[in-house]
Structure formats: structure tokens, C-alpha cells
Structure 1
Amino acid sequence: MTGSDRRDKILNLLKNKNKAVSGSKLSSELNVSRQVIVGDVALLRASGIHIISTPRGYILNDNKEDNYIIKTIACKHDKEDIEDELNTIVDEGVIVEDVIVEHSIYGQISGNLHLECRRDVKEFINKLNSKETSPLSHLTDGVHLHTIKCKDEKTYEQVVNSLTEKGYLY
């Protein structure tokens, strides 16, 4: 199989899944190393295809927003509150697209999350706890932004109210 054929297969696999596909799964299915998959995804991105890398794997972003509204919220809390903060958001039917911090040297640093439900949050928290690493918000004493996708303004207001009640909104 040529590299071009493999990239076409990666693209088709991502198109036919409605959830993230891990690099390990792609490498197993295509019988290549995970590093080859990383390179292929980089080449696909360079060709203009928008592939998002999340903690659960790759997602093809075909720019369909499904009539969601996009909002940014500013939060501040300790590492121990991450799971509750994220569950508070997804419990309202809102998708947490990313986390963003403002670094004094590097400027804006972001990490894709694409969390839609409690199961996604749990997987993220398990990865965060299983690695000897800190969340991005550790760089900014807990201050961070989230880009969220909401069904409507009322849902956004519910999220804001819930986060305010819990003291997570900055």
C-alpha cells in the first residue's frame, strides 16, 4: 500500500466514525507504526484537511457546526475540581471543545478536548491522572478558557449559572 493509499484509508476511517479513532487503532488496522499514522495525519492536515487530535484520538472536522453556537468561558479552579467542572458543562448537553491558557512567554496555548458526555470526561481524567503531568491550567494558577458548543443561548446561560453557583467561573 502506498502512503497516498494509506492516507485515503485514514480519511475514510475518520469519515465513517462518529467518534474519535485512536492512533493505535489506526496503526493496527493499517498494519503500520503509530509514528507512521502521526506523519500521515500531519500530511493530511498540511493538505488542508481539518483533523482534530483529542485525548481519545483523531476526529475529522468537516466544519459542520450542526447549528451550535460557539462560546468561550473563563474559569478558575484547582486540579481537584476539573472533573466536576467538565461534568457540569457536559451535563447541560454542551460540548467542551478545548482548554486554553495564556502563557507569559508562549502566548496562547490550547489543547483539544472535544468532550461530549461524562464518559468522555472520565476518560480524560483517567489519562490526566495516569500520566505524571499537570493540566494546562497549572501554568496559570487555575485560570483557563474553554471553547464550548451549545444548542442555544438558553443552554449557554444554564452552563454559566451552574458554573457560577459552583464558583468555577472566573
Structure 2
Amino acid sequence: MTGVERREKLLSMLAKSKEPIAGAEMAKQLSVSRQVIVQDIALLRAADNNIVSTNRGYVLLKPGKCERIFKVRHTAEEIEKELQIIVDNGGRILDVFVYHKIYGVVKAPMNIKTRKDIYEYVKTLSSGKSSPLLKITDNYHYHTVQADSENILDNIQKDLEECGFLAKLLDFEPVDFWEKSE
């Protein structure tokens, strides 16, 4: 069994288990040392698998499937602050999009989940080679945000509102932007 196959098996074991699995038990089932399991777990974590160590073993936390679309309005200079509010509360910014009266929905993926991601995004924007989408809609735009709970999304919404960034839907804007057309 290769290392890749072993790590896939580890993920499968963790995903199927309702209880923590001890490293020694995984090592026994896969005929490797416990140290190999520790190293594999580190590699799986580095690959964005949410594996937690407990006193009874390892647990794979299921990724959050809570999503909410926020309509916001702010200046280009406030982009970093807006993104930090979302990330600092535990949100992941999946995309940015605008709803244009003529062009409809214009969307770009973002996948921002850390302050480092925000730094890189803002740095790219400041290079002057591209403009943020908000420029074509008088600073109005939307983000699809994913989080591990509705409570986190509520906190993000509250903080965006407190900063004056949240905006209301207008009459011409559809409520369901995606209508499963993708």
C-alpha cells in the first residue's frame, strides 16, 4: 500500500467512524507504526482535512455546509476591512459577484479563508492591473460565505451591519441568484 493509498484509507476510516479512533488502532489496522500514522495525520491536516486529536483518538470534523449570501456596499479602500470581518469571525469567502441590470450576474471565485489570503488579494488589486467588481455597480456587490455554523454566519452579518457594510436587496434583484442554472 502506498502512502497516498494509506492516507485515503485513514480518511475513509475517520469519515465512517462515529467515535474517535486511537492512533495505535489505526496503525494496527494498516500494519504500520503509530509514528507513520502521526505523520500521515499531519499531511492530511496540511491538505485541509479538519482532523482533531482528542484524548481518545482522532476525529474528522465534517466540513461546515452553512452558507449565506451577503449583499454589501463599501468603497474599494474598505475591501480589506470587510474581508477581515468575515474571516476573523470564522467565515470562508467563496466568491464575489455583482448583479448588473444589463449583464446579469457576474461572478468570480475568491476562496479566501485567512488574513494571508486577504493580504494576497488586496496586493493583487493594488497592482492596478484589475479593478474589483464593485466598481461596476456603485460599490454594491455580494459574497457567498461558508461557515461551520449558522451562529458564525449570524455574527458575520451582525458585524457587517455594525460597520455599515450590509445593503438591502432592490426590487430588480432576484432573491435566488442561482436557480440551479450552473
What TM-score does the superposition give when structure 2 sets the normalisation length? 0.57
Report how many aligned residue pairs link the two structures: 110
Runs of 4+ in 1 over 6 A off after TM superposition: none
Gaps of 5+ in 2: 1-43, 49-61, 168-182
1:11-60 superposed Cα distances (whole Å, 9 cap, x missing partner)? xxxxx9837xxxxxxxxxxxxxxxxxxxxxxxxxxxxxxxxxxxxxxxxx
1:66-103 superposed Cα distances (whole Å, 9 cap, x missing partner)? 23201111100010000000011000111000001012
Identity over the aligned pairs, expressed in percent?
Answer: 32
Q: Distance in 2 between matches of 1:141 and 1:150?
A: 28
Give the structure 1 partner of residue 124 of structure 2: 127
Q: Distance in 1 between matches of 2:65 and 2:102?
A: 33
Give the structure 1 partner of residue 13 of structure 2: none
SS in structure 2 of the partner of residue 146 of structure 1? strand
Give the structure 2 partner of residue 86 of structure 1: 83
* Equivalent pair of 2:73/2:139 in contact (CA under 8 Å): yes
Structure 1 position 136 matched with structure 2 position 148: no
Gaps of 5+ in 1: 1-15, 20-64
Which deviates further from its counterpart, 76-85 or 125-134?
A: 125-134
Q: Which has the larger radius of gyration?
A: 2
RMSD: 1.7
Give the structure 1 partner of residue 113 of structure 2: 116
Q: Distance in 2 between matches of 1:77 and 1:153?
A: 24
Q: Which amino acid aligns with 1:18?
A: A
